[in-house]
Chains A and B, each alone.
Chain A
């Protein structure tokens, strides 16, 4: 029964990673950049929903929606102001800019809201389902998290494969110049991608804080790095890859905490990543690229 319990916990944590990883992977697929500020958008989402829940006394759904709106706008603004002027720049300049944006968000949050950790209200989704005569109890929050992740992934996958905007996104990720020649508005498409990624970040923020209720300016860093790892794990640029990568990472983390060592879990997670990349150098679902002479 313990095993099943850990598996469900792993899936729950992994679902949060997967939702964040999808944001990373979409932005990478289209803008070819590692958006290091993504984790900090999560942090902003966490603070916004915190204030909505605690200071304004709003319910779970309205708080989530407001966080989603603010993060989406924030994502578009960051892209327009900081990344768009660097479309032609080398990838390192873009990376450093993203790091600058990350510092900016973290330190602004610290200035506005202080560096002290705030306790997120944990009783938003309370209660649990009992199975096997009470031997296994699954909190509703866990079920909601896993369901949200599945719904979001499939909806996005459908969107990318079946809508005009989706095909514009796929075209941009293959070849931006060719896409532009075909009449696709590349700038708009990239903005939409950032918007979707940031919207997911807000959802992830609320789910993450409901499970780990400590809100601080550096809240987004570690989940950000882990989710980025998950995206690479699954094959960066691939949405199903981010989904699988996120879930696997969550499961590995919970299992190594349970069966090996709590302190070493991070080392184990990252070691598994390195080992996987040794055998699948472009991740689990990554595309193989070869150089033409």
Chain B
């Protein structure tokens, strides 16, 4: 099994404030990893560092043993890191299916002139892209909504669509930021199954931030716990559940 992601002493400061410090994390292929911690622990900041929305102040990020610390957001996407956002960020004025096809942007290779003249190359690639997008839509049973505007979808479906858009970039590591937020227990249950299905079908590693402990303990093979920007604990769900440090961080001293 090969290593997808390694963070070495990763850290970032905002002005005088250290948001994340000394983070060491490893993720292997096909793993589902949880990233948990109290509010304000720096979980989303880690996602922003991994996608280079923020530039790390310290430390290194290795992706398949290649140092990508200096890469841009676009390069991270091209290397194979995709993400969703805590407060859903879809392209509101594009249709549901176009939101997925846009994820395939860098997989399409036709030129602008191919597009303007609608050459056979354009037609072939577009046809394949939309067919692929329809396959993806089936994962979450969204096919019936494919032509509506993304913004007119109900909340739960928007979350799912965001995951599909990330998948369309053909990532090797998928970052999910609170995928179950706002879902009822039954929907959460379905989501859990789908996340496993995604991992098995696409053979990718998944790192997820989640507050729903039931979901995290159920599907994550390993868990990292952040507190005040520092790694508090790591281990299997059982180890984490019984870790006194974690318990006190969550319950307060």
> In the complex, which residue of chain A has the Cβ closest to the Cβ of B53?
A293
Question: Measuring CB to CB, which residues of chain B are less than 8 angstroms from any residue of chain A?
Answer: 44, 48, 53, 85
A residues near B48, Cβ cutoff 8 Å: 293
Task: Say whether chain A's binding surface is mostly helix, strand, loop, or mixed.
Answer: loop
Whole-angstrom CA separation of A293 from B53 in the bound complex:
8
A residues near B44, Cβ cutoff 8 Å: 293
B residues near A293, Cβ cutoff 8 Å: 44, 48, 53, 85
A-B contact pairs, 4 of them (CB 8 A): A293-B44, A293-B48, A293-B53, A293-B85
> In the complex, which residue of chain A has the Cβ closest to the Cβ of B85?
A293
Whole-angstrom CA separation of A293 from B44 in the bound complex:
9
The count of residues in chain A whose C-beta lies closer than 8 Å to any C-beta of chain B is: 1
Question: Measuring CB to CB, which residues of chain A are less than 8 angstroms from any residue of chain B?
Answer: 293
Whole-angstrom CA separation of A293 from B48 in the bound complex:
8
- Minimum Cβ distance to chain B for residue A289 (Å): 15
> In the complex, which residue of chain A has the Cβ closest to the Cβ of B54?
A293
> In the complex, which residue of chain B has the Cβ closest to the Cβ of A293?
B53
> In the complex, which residue of chain A has the Cβ closest to the Cβ of B89?
A293
- Minimum Cβ distance to chain B for residue A213 (Å): 52
A residues near B53, Cβ cutoff 8 Å: 293
Whole-angstrom CA separation of A293 from B54 in the bound complex:
10
Whole-angstrom CA separation of A293 from B175 in the bound complex:
15
- Minimum Cβ distance to chain A for residue B51 (Å): 9
- Minimum Cβ distance to chain A for residue B32 (Å): 24
- Minimum Cβ distance to chain B for residue A198 (Å): 38
- Minimum Cβ distance to chain A for residue B206 (Å): 20
- Minimum Cβ distance to chain B for residue A86 (Å): 22
A residues near B85, Cβ cutoff 8 Å: 293
- Minimum Cβ distance to chain A for residue B97 (Å): 25
- Minimum Cβ distance to chain B for residue A165 (Å): 32
> In the complex, which residue of chain B has the Cβ closest to the Cβ of A291?
B53
- Minimum Cβ distance to chain B for residue A293 (Å): 5
Whole-angstrom CA separation of A293 from B46 in the bound complex:
12
- Minimum Cβ distance to chain B for residue A144 (Å): 46
- Minimum Cβ distance to chain A for residue B44 (Å): 8
Whole-angstrom CA separation of A293 from B47 in the bound complex:
11
> In the complex, which residue of chain A has the Cβ closest to the Cβ of B51?
A293
4 nearest CB pairs, A to B: A293-B53, A293-B48, A293-B85, A293-B44
- Minimum Cβ distance to chain A for residue B231 (Å): 22
- Minimum Cβ distance to chain A for residue B47 (Å): 9
Whole-angstrom CA separation of A202 from B48 in the bound complex:
51
> In the complex, which residue of chain A has the Cβ closest to the Cβ of B86?
A293
Whole-angstrom CA separation of A293 from B85 in the bound complex:
8
- Minimum Cβ distance to chain B for residue A65 (Å): 49
Whole-angstrom CA separation of A222 from B54 in the bound complex:
43
- Minimum Cβ distance to chain B for residue A288 (Å): 13
> In the complex, which residue of chain A has the Cβ closest to the Cβ of B45?
A293
- Minimum Cβ distance to chain A for residue B20 (Å): 15
Whole-angstrom CA separation of A104 from B196 in the bound complex:
65
Whole-angstrom CA separation of A293 from B45 in the bound complex:
9
- Minimum Cβ distance to chain A for residue B87 (Å): 9
Whole-angstrom CA separation of A293 from B87 in the bound complex:
9
Whole-angstrom CA separation of A238 from B44 in the bound complex:
34
